[in-house]
Amino acid sequence: MALIAVITCLQGCASRPPATVLNPVAIHESAGDRISLLAVTNRNKVEKDGGFGSEWRRALSYERYEFSVPRDRKAAAIIYPTTHADTRREFIVTGRKELDESSWVAAARASTVDGTVSVFVHGYNYRYQEALFRMAQMASDARKLSPPILFSWPSVATVTGYVADRDAALASRTELERVLTSLARTPGIKRVIVFGHSMGGFLTVEAARQLKLDGRREILNKLQIVLAAPDIDVDVFRSQLLDIGTLKIPMTLLVAKTDRALSVSSVLGAERPRIGRLDINDPQIRDAALKANVNVIDISSVEASDGLGHDRYAALARFGGELEQADATARRKGRSVALVFDAATGVLTSPFRLARPASAK
């Protein structure tokens, strides 16, 4: 329970942005990168501040945002706008427009160059605006992430809301399935990358499972699922994979056995292990992943900013090219892979080749 107290302290001491950061700011000259992204949510609208709350609603809200993102900044760091906007330091919304579903899908189609779109599904304890700004940061760092799309589900955004968030994630399966189906059925969109973080990874796999049970294999065939620090019980994940079956594009897990936030999740789940804390150096883990046709990449070397090692995925965005290359290699060879990512060099290496010199001493 000590870890829960640590998380509460870290989260409680941090200043969290109000919905007013979503209000566009007129900027004549920007020292930052111009980023355009799309967002869709099943959260309730909050008229008094123009934001979105933590209540579930079946109707989806579609929006388009324009951002100014500072170029010279620490990787994955986000500084929210203040009264006097400074494009050299702060992330600033410069444009916001509400869209209907057809216009939103058309915008996604028009923005893609190679037929690929990317959907980010945030994790537990996220406000809508926090997820949106995180998406802007990753899009800026990744460069090739176009067009970036946020799917925001109604997290209650409190440290003590873990169970409520898990229920909200489960309640959002149909809405995420609808978004993925709309994108995958759009002419010109050939691949939909779904990047789920933490509890958002659980929601992502549940949506994929629902697609399979609904007989929508043609949608699944266009999905490339990437799970970062997935907060999923090992046996639940095994059951989900059995229902989904073999995917045309192998699923990828980004894991770190030093993720302390997932240690807390394990405690809350009666000490049961979480998929995001797999030990890639364990040959049994490697063999199980290969058998399930799942790529596993250890990202423990990537620097985290939350003090818990749970937000490494955000800093990983700038290495998107290296990870895409590893994925392309796996697809070309027709089998899954188990790799360790070295953040210092940007190189992916087999963990078993890395382990041999140490065992030889």
pLDDT in tens, 207-256: 999 999 999 999 999 999 999 989 999 899 999 999 999 898 889 999 88
Whether 3 is in a domain gets the answer no
Let me know if residue 61 belongs to a domain: no
Q: What's the mean pLDDT when you consider all of the chain? A: 84
CATH number for 195: 3.40.50.1820
CA dihedral 124, 130, 135, 137 (to 10 degrees): -120
Domain-embedded: residue 241 = yes
Alpha-carbon distance 249 to 320, whole Å?
17
DSSP 179-243: HHHHHHTSTT--EEEEEEETHHHHHHHHHHHHHHHTT-HHHHTTEEEEEES---BHHHHHHHHHH
Q: Is 335 among the domain residues?
A: yes
pLDDT band at 355; cut points 50, 70, 90? very low
What is the per-residue pLDDT across 177-196, written as a single tens digit (0 to 9) for each?
A: 999 999 999 999 999 999 99
Q: pLDDT value at position 357?
A: 35
Q: Which domain holds residue 111?
A: 99-359
Predicted local distance difference test score (pLDDT) of residue 77: 85
In a domain, 46, yes or no: no
Query: What pLDDT, on the 0 to 100 scale, is given for residue 10?
Result: 43
Mean pLDDT is lowest, of 81-90, 252-261, 302-311, for 302-311
292 domain residue, yes or no: yes
Residue 103 has pLDDT above 70, yes or no: yes
Give the burial string for 339-350 (b: 16+ CB within 10 Å, else e): bbbbbeeeebee
Residue with tokens 């006097």: 84
User: Alpha helix locations (H) across the chain?
Assistant: 2-13, 101-111, 128-142, 162-171, 173-184, 199-213, 217-220, 234-244, 260-268, 283-291, 312-316, 320-333, 351-359
In this structure, is residue 158 part of a structural domain?
yes
Is 92 among the domain residues? no
What pLDDT does residue 304 have?
A: 66
Q: How many domains are contained in the chain?
A: 1
Its pTM stands at: 0.89
